Structure 1
Amino acid sequence: MKRAMFGKAATAALLAALASACAPPAAPQRPAEVESAAAGWTRPPEIQTVQRARSGLVFTGEAEPGARVVLRSESGAAYAAAADGRGRFEIRMAAPAGDLWLRPETQIGQDAAPSPDRLLIIGDGRGPIAVLRTGGPTRRLDHAPVLGAVDSDGRMRLASGRAAGSAPVLVQAGGESVRVTPDAEGRWSLMLRPSDVADEIQAGGARFAWPGELAGGPAPRVERAGQGWRVAWTGAGGARQSTWLPDAA
């Protein structure tokens, strides 16, 4: 559940600006069966979980039933699997050497539907593993602390994470305190006041030193920043994004 730390008017203006800058158009409702390219729209895949196996990493998620799901890197390397009749899929891959950026993609016949999201695997899979989302909070897939990510674009900051239960999470930043209620999965997100400098964010009783956003320089790139990883990347429409991923608990 997403809550705001400042007034409704300011929140609405920031969300509208963010949506117009980088959010993809809302997808229409679709029936469960596989639809052809002639229908004009194919649902991109959604990466939901990751497990570390002896042979590497196993990703699971949902896509169009019967579709081929591909995780494609900028170098052209790809990892693929077919979704079953319920749309569930499982992709196995060896742990990468270093950091790896992947773009999820659905293929049905000659039709391909790349996702606006990015799957990022840091440090040979031993660091954070996260889905970076255009126009929404980053989704940590690894065992992250209660504050999983802070997304920023120079105009707003969006803190997000996952709680151990359903109890409200107390978040404190910029001299303000807000209790936010997690959703059914324990996930929460909260709009924070903008900040031009590093500051402290408290969530669920833990303290996190946000190092500030990563402005300027090439993108995508990953670097250590404080007790976490700071990421520069480009969302849909070329919008520059900065994401901080605190170290796993």
Structure 2
Amino acid sequence: MLLAFLGLGACQETAAPNTDPRAAATGAWATPPRVAGVAARGDSLVISGFGPPGVRVVLTAEDQAPAAISVDDDGRFALPIPRPAAARLYRLDLDEPTARRAGERLFIAPDGTAAVLVPGGASRALNEVSGLVAADHDGVELIISGNAAPGSVVSVVLDDRPARAGRVDAAGRYELALGAAAAGRRRIAVQVDDGPPIVTAVTLAPQGDGTPGSRVDTEGLSLWWTPPGGGIQQTWIRRQKD
């Protein structure tokens, strides 16, 4: 089942992204590169992030040739790729024999909607939007994540039932596990401090052979993918145009 910290303060226990570019180079086994953002540049998209200086990062997808670029001396990279004609999953690994393979996947849609998909956890949307930006479901548990002012308190109501509360971390991000959620249309109301609740409807599909690869609704895009450990994980991402 999906894993996350529970309860008030859960968001504080989730470590903020390490933006020190040299952090990826520590240890006997080099850690996979970290994606920081995806930006549009004409007919191309530029994937930016961090990795060990001097090592090449390689982006692969099933139906296209790999793309690669070397990490600069400051531990940063900016890899341009053609804008995909359809929603696509990528792997981003280091071209280094001692590097660990990335368990995460990078999702990019033609409109620029992008997210880092985390097996068994909260996916990290790369869109610059506030509020609820992603939801993950493995057929049992539901985890949401979003952006808000650092230090603010987030309270969540799932289908008119109080679910969880937590505090936004220093990077302006929160993750909350809402417990079991059945398939169907779920109403997620997120309230930040004393502000008005913002309701987002997310349709969770039942697990099974009939699960589609992806689906677009009025507020977001849902996709179903297979984590390295097996099974099916549904990830909902708020669309970039929102």
The 5 A counterparts of 1:89-104 are 89-104=77-92
Verify: 1:143 aligned to 2:128, yes or no: yes
1:219–1:233 CA contact under 8 A, matched in 2 = no
Q: Specify the code of the residue in structure 2 equivalent to 1:206.
A: I
CA–CA distance in 2 between the matches of 1:212 and 1:35? 39
Question: For residues 35 and 139 of structure 1, do their structure 2 counterparts lie closer, same or farther at Cα, with a shift above 3 Å needed?
Answer: closer
More helix by share: 1
* Deviation digits for residues 146-198 of structure 1 (CA, Å, limit 9, x no counterpart): 11111011221111111144422232214105432111211100000212132
- Alignment match, 1:189: 175
Contact residue 67 and residue 106 of structure 1 kept, 8 A: yes
The 1:121/1:173 distance shift into structure 2, 3 A limit, reads same
Residue in structure 1 matched with residue 187 of structure 2 by the alignment: 200
Partner of 1:121: 108
- Post-superposition offset of 1:142: 1.6
CA drift of 1:55 comes to 4.2
CA distance in 2, matches of 1:33, 1:128: 26
Task: Tell me, in whole angstroms, the C-alpha distance in 2 between the residues paired with 1:65 and 1:132.
Answer: 24
Which residue of 2 is the match for residue 233 of structure 1?
225
Provide the TM-score with structure 2 as the length reference: 0.79
Offset at 1:116?
0.7
Residue in 2 that maps onto 1:11:
none
Whether the aligned pair in 1 keeps the contact of 2:24 and 2:32 (CA below 8 Å) is: no
Q: Secondary structure at the match of 2:132?
A: coil
SS of 2:229's equivalent in the other structure is helix
Give the Å deviation of 1:88.
Answer: 1.5
CA distance in 2, matches of 1:163, 1:102: 28
Partners in 2 of 1:183 and 1:230 — Cα distance? 26
What does the per-residue CA deviation read over 1:111-163, in whole Å, with 9 as the maximum and x for residues that have no partner?
554311111112x1x15211101132111112344111110112211111111
- 2:24 and 2:50 in contact (8 A); partners too: no
2-side partners of 1:171 and 1:88: how far apart?
36
Partner AA of 2:6 in structure 1: A
Task: Work out whether 1:56 is the aligned partner of 2:44.
Answer: yes
Identity of aligned residues (%): 30
Name structure 2 gaps, 5 residues minimum. Answer: 11-21, 192-196
Cα offset for 1:210? Answer: 1.7
User: Under a length normalisation based on structure 1, what TM-score does the superposition of the two structures give?
Assistant: 0.77
Runs of 4+ in 1 over 4 A off after TM superposition: 31-36
Q: Which residue is equivalent to 2:157?
A: 172
Aligned residue for 1:148, secondary structure, equals strand
Distance 1:33 1:119, change over 3 A: closer
1:163–1:61: structure 2 CA closer, same or farther, 3 Å change rule?
same
- Secondary structure of the 2:48 match is strand
- Which residue is 2:15 aligned to? none
SS in 1 for 2:176: strand
1:102 CA displacement: 0.7
Which letter does structure 2 place at the counterpart of 1:186?
Answer: G
Q: Is the 8 A contact 1:66 1:82 kept in 2?
A: yes
Distance 1:213 1:162, change over 3 A: farther
Aligned length: 219
